[in-house]
Structure 1
Amino acid sequence: MSLSSQLKYLEELTTNAKQVQDNLLEEILRVNGNTEYLRHFLHGSSDKESFKKNVPVVSYDDVNPYIERVAKGEPSNVITGETITNFLLSSGTSGGKQKIFPVNNKYFEKMSFINGLCSSILSKYIDGVREGKVMTFLNTRPLATTPSGLPIAPLSTSFLMSDYFKNLPSKCYVSPDEVILCVDNKQNLYCHLLCGLVQREEVVSISAAFASYLVQAIQFLETHWNELCGNIRSGCISEWITDRGCRDSVSVILGGPNPELAYMIEHECSQKSWEGMITRLWPNSKFIQTIVTGQMSQYIPILEFYSNKLPLVSPRYASSETIFGVNLNPLCKPQDVSYTFLPNMSYFEFLLVDEANNDEIVELVNVKLGCFYEPLVTNNFGLCRYRMGDILQVTGFYNSAPQFRFVRRKGMVLSVNVEVTTEQDILKALNHAGLVLESSALMLMGFTCYVDISTIPGHYVFYWELKEKSFNGIVKLDKKVMVECCCVIEESFDVLYRKFRTKYGSIGALEIRVVAQGTFDSLMKYFITKGASTSQYKTPICIKDPQGLAILEDKVLARFFSDKSPPL
């Protein structure tokens, strides 16, 4: 589909959102109405009114037994009339546990459509997007199979291994497919950077699924730039790159010795400060494309430091369950990102997040501006009125399609007593603390937190990994600065927290435990051994995993506590 055709189709979809949604639900019920799952509720009916009256709102635990039966080899019509060909594996790091979801090529077709639409939207706002190349940190992991023999993998791996990716008419990446499909993460990342450096003048954008992985790629460059320069100088790739596809394809891109380029990169990378390093190494880059909403917002200051404040574009809102929508204003500030829901992706309903009336369910076109909702998803593959666990706020409409700001994950909270400190509260508090860190030239590279109830009273604990802004600088902790960070975080929390902390003394002083550099890499590796995808990994904001906590605790270098109660 051409750029103009995609944008025209977007107008049609969003203008006729209600009709598109009704038609999609009609199709889903026609195909899935006879499944074992839906027969319990519809008893042969397949109309919208019966669906809304009889089909319950469910969580993953409700549908998991049906999904597991299909995964073990029972016919797909246990839960869906579609033929299931793949299972998508969620990361498990944001919601607490891994989940699997049945899909087929319809999902990947929709993903291809979204990718093309995002590209068209970017072309509308940024000149030359389609003329250069993208340095994208795409990777895959080894495929597993269900007991019935169907492939099971994270969304990114499943899509990259599908025909929809392999048969793209034009690929604008600096890295060849052999690198993208390499399942060894270290070799994959090294080769991405090597290809990107050799083709530095052609790079117009830099991309990763999540901001956390892009930061990881920059840190990898910090530790491997000397070796990369050696490869460029000699025209030969390092011997430890043993993946044959990587070696052969990257050797072609290297094309022989290039001492001038190696010298230039060495000159930049050996400078004391890495501020603006992305634009220094890739001078024609126009923007960074990666998700920086929700818990990824913690990486905004780091990316702005390294990129000389290039635009940070959050292109889409998607999950293993469904694709939701796109960002139609890609150059807006990260904190202003809203996603326009596309009515042809899934049938969407919304549960009003209001303690006084939390049973009200509304359709996509009937949400109200400013209100907070949890989306319910009904897709082609067996999910019906499925609670996503995301909390969204309506920020506007594009034609008749609503636009939503991601607020937080439901249930991801800290609490000692009856206070509720949400993901949004935590991220806001950390932004305030980040301003204090500025005075000591430190950057917060990673964090997580939990409630320590082994003390009396219980208190909040934040694990922080810090880094000097100057390259290879030694982190020097100023007690006054760190204690002030503790106090600022507490002052940022809501009145209930401050009342229990100050007036009743039933919450103890907030603690920051500074961990050694590389600790959050170790935490990521632990979660990957449990099945998380490298490119989809998100550090849990609130950590509850005992072994994960043990990894953090083993690397604690210093502890700091707030030294005063927050004002009421």
Structure 2
Amino acid sequence: MLLAVAVAVAAVAVAVAVAVAVPALRHRLIRSALLRSGARYRRRLEALGSDLRLSQERRLRRLLGTGTAGGERGAAAQGAGRGRCHARPSQLVLLPAGYEEFQERHPLRQPCRDEAPGDPVPRLRLWALLAGCGDTDPRLQGSLLYLDVLGAAFPRALVHRGTALLHWSPGCPRAPAGWPLPSLYCTPAAAGTVPSRAAALRLQLLFALRQRALHVLEAGLAAELQDTLVALRTEWPRLAQELALGRLSPQPGLPEEVRGQLQALLTPDAARAAELRAECTRGFEGIVLRLWPQLEVVVVRTAHGTERLYCDSLCQADCQGLPFYCPFYQAAGALLGINLWPVEPVPRFLLCPDWAFCEFLPCLANKEPRTVLLDELWEGREYGLVVTAQPGEYRYRAGEVLKVTGFHKQCPMVEPVRRESQTLSVRGESIPEEQFCQSLCRTLRMWPGARLIDYVCVESSLLGDSSGPCAPHYEVFLELQGLRDLSEGQRYKLDQRLQEDFPVYKSFRFKGSIGPLRLHLVRPGSFSRLREALGSPVPMPRVLREEQLLRLIQGSVIS
């Protein structure tokens, strides 16, 4: 009898061990195959960078459906700026009738609206990947490069279920950075698709807390990571209770059907709940690394531009001691570049010549400058981006300005500088978003104890009659930590700083054709609600253009 029991127990133990080991083994095998493919594509990228014009021509021909055979015929077309990026003279036949005809047939199209980062999860067949059939899909190429770069910089980052995902994707699952290897993630896909942004991020946080041995924390937007950690600060007692009981509480915005699916994945974990309570009781400085002591890196797929505000804030507080890696550059709904340097504090993106056909408008040229090509860029200069990434969608102005920071081989490395749609202007004075942010941050240094959480601006034309009978002006809505009110003198400091930083604005203020800036403080959590009201996960707009969003932020004003 005892022997039979022992045999049964042993059989159960072996079955459990096999059940645990098989997914981990499958993960390692697929990871190995993907890393080999990533290394192969990285070598291919190096080769593509040796002749940018030929690579760009081939990409455009595929988009036009004309093949690539003409790429080897070529009529010489020298790029004026090619020498400064060490490119050898190459040949260009972008169309049988020439590049000028392509421009004439397809005039520049208006700037695109901000797109949600990430793409719907594609279907990937491993045999096609191993055969190299997926080499022309930029999404696949980008994710393979991401896995290759991340694994090389952080050797334990690609372990089974070692990554937690924080990203709201209402309606349909959106591809995480490592989508070809879904076994990387410990977060259920259903947790991010619920209608409520707040509920989605809280659910993903709960499942991340269950996995103490995390190596990577991934967010779609830096703002999503910030709002998730704000939820941790406010709801940690309830989260600890749910961990201890293994029971998911009802909450607004969480459909019962989804709640039932996720509840089936939870089991009680009293030890982890006790650890959560102990660490949160100590405070929230460096809380991320204390809760997940094996964490190596925070991956944020969109962290450039004014999203850097959130990254900088997190680095100084909750995420102390952790590097931030922003792997992709996306614009106009297309994947355009990859960051191959994950440990550098400021992301630089290598524009990949085989992902889209790119043109550039020099920012300091005449009113109607001609577009230049990928191998005609100059280091240190700024350019407006024009993208052809999908068949039938030619020459879209992306609405973004890039700065060329250097070259890798011949491929330019760029840093996104600003979004053209986010420029303040009530009299044609034109204050770009990144320069306004710099002026605002300098002003805050004159307010002792104040820490900027978030901000938006509004041009008085959107206010209508509520702005009163005054000259056109800006209104700025701030969420601050450390200050509950501002004196009139403090409020004027920002207007004064703008006059010092922008002579044209100062001139209009002196003439009285622009009125004084008005500053408002809003209650905590206002910007989280504003991001949910946007309806899709897009980078935070700094200049509101919609009355609905304006009314929401006006309703949060406390001073």
Asked whether the two chains share a fold, i.e. TM above 0.5, the reply is yes
For each residue in 1:141-180, what CA deviation from the matched residue of structure 2 results, as whole angstroms up to 9, or x when unmatched? 226xxxxxxxxxxxxx4647xxx95xx3452112133334
Preserved CA contact (<8 Å) 1:182 1:246: no
Write the distance in 2 (CA, Å) between the matches of 1:16 and 1:93.
32
Q: Deviations over 1:449-508 (max 9, x none)?
A: 12336453333221012235xxxxxx533538943752574266322223333x434433
State how far apart, in whole Å, the 1-side matches of 2:103 and 2:115 are: 32
Between structure 1 and structure 2, the one with the greater Rg is: 2
Deviation of 1:541 (Å): 0.7
Aligned to 2:478: 464
The aligned residue for residue 369 of structure 1 is 379
1:256-311 CA-partner distances (Å, limit 9, x unpaired): 3x22321221122234x422221222222222211221121221332112111522
> 2: distance between equivalents of 1:394 and 1:251?
50
1:232 equivalent in alignment to 2:243:
yes
Which string of whole-angstrom CA distances, capped at 9 and with x for unpartnered residues, describes residues 200-232 of structure 1?
2x2112111111111111122223211110011
Question: Does the C-alpha gap of structure 1 residues 189 and 523 become closer, same or farther in structure 2, counting only changes over 3 Å?
Answer: closer
Q: How does 1:345-494 map to 2 (within 5 A)?
A: 345-356=355-366, 358-436=368-446, 439-440=448-449, 442-452=450-460, 454=467, 456-468=470-482, 476-477=484-485, 479=487, 482-483=490-491, 486=494, 489-490=497-498, 493-494=501-502
CA gap 1:430/1:306 in 2 versus in 1, 3 angstroms:
farther
In structure 1, how many angstroms separate the alpha carbons of the residues matched to 2:215 and 2:191?
A: 20
Tell me whether 1:556 sits opposite 2:557 in the alignment: yes
- What's the CA shift for 1:329? 2.0
**Is residue 120 of structure 1 aligned with residue 148 of structure 2?**
yes
Aligned to 1:561: none
Cα offset, 1:312, TM superposition: 1.9
Corresponding pairs, count: 476
Distance 2:531 2:103 in 1: 43
Pairing 1:494-513 to 2, within 5 Å after superposition = 494-501=502-509, 503-513=510-520
Name the structure 1 match of 2:297: 287
> Which one of the candidate residues 522, 530, 538 is aligned to 1:523?
530
Q: State the shift of 1:398 in Å.
A: 0.8
Out of 59, 68, 77, the residue aligned to residue 24 of structure 1 is: 59
CA contact (8 A) 1:429 1:492 kept: no
Question: Alignment partner for residue 137 of structure 1, among 166, 170, 174?
Answer: 166
The 2-side partners of 1:313 and 1:113 are apart by 18
Structure-1 residue corresponding to 2:541: 540
Closer, same or farther in 2 for the Cα pair 1:23/1:228, shift >3 Å? Answer: same
SS, match of residue 421 in structure 1: coil
1:55 maps to a residue whose letter is R
Structure 1 position 198 matched with structure 2 position 210? yes
In structure 2, C-alpha distance between the alignment counterparts of 1:510 and 1:53, rounded to whole Å: 43
Kept in 1: contact 2:170–2:192 (CA 8 A) = no
How far is 1:23 from its partner? 1.2
Secondary structure, aligned partner of 1:466: strand
> Does the Cα contact within 8 Å between 2:114 and 2:332 map onto a contact in 1?
no
Secondary structure of the structure 2 residue equivalent to 1:405: strand
Report the Cα offset of residue 548 of structure 1: 1.8
Please say if residues 433 and 488 of structure 1, whose CA atoms lie closer than 8 Å, have aligned partners that are also in contact.
no
What CA deviation, in whole Å up to 9, does each residue of 1:331-351 have, x standing for no partner? 2223xx221100111111112
Identity across the alignment (%): 21
RMSD, matched Cα: 3.4
Q: Is the 8 A contact 2:404 2:414 kept in 1?
A: yes
Partner in structure 2 of residue 213 of structure 1: 224
Whole-angstrom CA distance in 2 between matches of 1:199 and 1:352: 48
Q: Does the C-alpha gap of structure 1 residues 391 and 237 become closer, same or farther in structure 2, counting only changes over 3 Å?
A: same
Aligned residue for 1:539, secondary structure, equals: coil
Shift of 1:56: 3.2
1:197 is matched by which residue type in structure 2? L
Is 1:55 the equivalent of 2:66? no
